[in-house]
Structure 1
Amino acid sequence: MSELVQRVRDVLPAVRQDLEDLVRIESVWADPARRGEVQRSADAVAKLLSDAGFADVQIVSEGGAPAVIARHPAPAGAPTVLLYAHHDVQPEGDHTQWNSPPFQPTERDGRLYGRGTADDKAGIATHLAAFRAHGGNPSVGVTVFVEGEEESGSPSLSRLLAAHRDTLASDVIVIADSDNWSTEVPSLTVTVRGLADCVVEVATLDHGLHSGLWGGVVPDALTVLVRLLASLHDDEGNVAVEGMHEAAAADVEYPPERVREETGLLPGVCEIGSGSVPQRLWAKPAITVIGIDTTPIDKASNTLIPRARAKVSMRVAPGGDAAAHLSALTRHLERNAPWGAQVTVTPGDVGQPYAIDASGAVYDAARSAFRDAWGAEPVDTGVGGSIPFIAEFAKAFPSAKILVTGVEDPATQAHSVNESLHLGVLERAATAEALLLANLGSDGQVAT
């Protein structure tokens, strides 16, 4: 074990350089103008995997972004492990809000800043480090699958899994796209919330009216919309939509000061909802208004607005059905509009939640690897966000054991400005994955 740990350390400087090169590629699939950068990113990932010793490397696409699949065949009787990551990144937002250029990796205080440093190009780096530490010849089969449109909801993933099912078939699936409890304590993610969203439009008039002449007599659409959106929560901030599912969360401590530190709550702003933080964050539904279309302030006039609309995003607790929850949200919006306003709800994306039974030999092997790499007992946690493709993998490969790991920590700020990777976490995550491959290749650990 100590020799393998040292080999991880030996390969990390080169892996970090490879990671920085990937971060410099602006692989934002959501931006049509940068689709060429996504292709360039796929080409770079394919070359890295080929250079690492994978003999079978291909770039594939099923009507969406390019993905990379690389295979190292399993020795006789050994299991095959699928290592997942994604090479696309979120849009960077306002460059002026970054402390350093978003696509120029910059180290400060032991963290590497830049878009995709953690989410999820560090997942690619973790897989590279683990494979290289084994000299390109681990005692298990390894398939690396690097997707190219995860940040856009993985719309072509089901087609990729169907078209390349035999190539991707595996006994264990490691998804390196999640969080850790802290920079010193690792996590195994065992539950993720689902996602559903919609656009709600309210209409009260067939044209705008002078607010002085008709204000106080006929309702404007924006006031209606505000009142309708306010009905989604009770006075404590709990979701007030009927038909929502609630699960049980892990019994771990999440004190208020940690919430305030990790979120940047402003002075005087309170938490919302009832129950423990893990319960609210991992096991209860949440509804957020993420956008409103109406008249901009600089174009406002004394006019009653005839139409207004909002995008509403909902998180679904593990065990719930995202499609059924979207139907419940739609019914609520249609039935609760004040003053008889007309309501149109347009459904959007749906991603199912997932809960993992993290027991058995594979999970024992993973926890052992985490203990040895981190020097700390891993914590089973949930994720407040959504990773809908986990359910896709479970559906495509029902007999495979799924491990959800990652290189993020509470200070990573994935999807936000100043995203960063803790370099110590990268080393520990890579070491844990290298040890996991060794554990899974040991006699008696995993039956194929």
Structure 2
Amino acid sequence: MARERENTVSPRTVFSPYARLFAVPGAASFSFAGWVGRLPAPMLGLGAVLLVEGETGSYGLAGAVSGTLALSYGLAGPLWARAMDRRGQGLVLRWAMTAFALAGVAFVGSVVAGGPRWSWFLLAAVAGASGPNVGSMVRARWSALLDPAGRQTAYAFEAVADEVVFVLGPPLVTLLATLIAPSVGFLTGVFFGVVGGLWLAAQQATEPPLHPVDATAPTRRLAALTPTLLVVVVTYLGVGTVFGAIDVVVIGFAEEQGAPALAGAVLAVFAGGSLVAGLAYGLARLPGTLAARFVGTAVAFGLAAQLLWGVGSLPVLIGCGFLAGLTIAPVLVSGTSLVESRVAPGVLTESLAWTITGLTLGVTVGSAVAGAAVDAWGAERAFAVPAVAGGLAALLALVGAVLLRSPEAAAPDAGPLIEDDVKG
């Protein structure tokens, strides 16, 4: 009996790595604040599609506006992150959240009031550019507090937190937009973003150390863009294109099937699969280097996206979506871990923000191309867009694998490379 008890693995034992994360003082507070601050991620893009399509009836225009918001968010993210590395997260966040709230409300007002369409694009761009990437801030805090062994678990937990956002956000914004008014869904996302951002800004004790500019040192504006980071960012362009296309195509497909209110629930299934995979990935101790894991998970993601070619009904879409979702968190966690393992501390937040930029630039392309495809071909045929994009992501990772075999030398302030980096 004693031996049986010894061989029994309790849930507490299995999830003890996650419990150890939150034994770190302040960790639970900054992680939850960051989670709230990430709720706009699935709500604003989808909310913009629902708002603009509801006002105009055009998925092409809706996808273009949503893509503009994502594009500006992706381009501005590394700039915000660089400022935070140098001046601190709290100070920069307070300014950013003020601009974000004003721009978000102005965008909704322009669309609802029937303002000129150029103003929709302009205000969407300002709103997107005003939103720093909260996920990179939280990951930078974990990196400053944990040793390398704990970071995979922390990054996996944050990937799960991302997926919980994407499980809850799409149904919430869809229900608010369809049952109350299209503008309510978008504005709710703005509200959560401001609350989470200001809450995180107030937690100064867990901020990463500052890396102010050395006036005597040579200027290196692109110091963060190492070969490893470029491979991950380019691969994430394909991954993000899948994300952006899925949002638009699923909304159109649900409407074609006569069940527009189910679009958010269907999108939540994708995130649900990723949530399950993220929990498992964070507990696993996988063989191979970080580079090998990244390439392997990217290929798995690309193969899973090919399931979308067979979608012909909502039940089939739900099944394919869950299976494809199982590959999302692993490719995101492995890419983030690889970048973090080879980065100089002075550009950590900026480097992590560049990975999100790759995703959001892909979302921009995916939203615009998928919107045009839905208008031209119908939603069912438009599933070709995310399927092709997933295959492209896998191909880009395989081609870039050559650059990952010999890791670049760390920047002067990076310190020694960790063992996984040397073996990579």
Category of TM-score, reference length = shorter chain: under 0.3
As a proportion of its length, which structure holds more strand?
1
TM-score of the aligned structures, taking structure 2 as reference length = 0.26
Structure number with greater Rg is: 1
TM-score of the aligned structures, taking structure 1 as reference length = 0.25
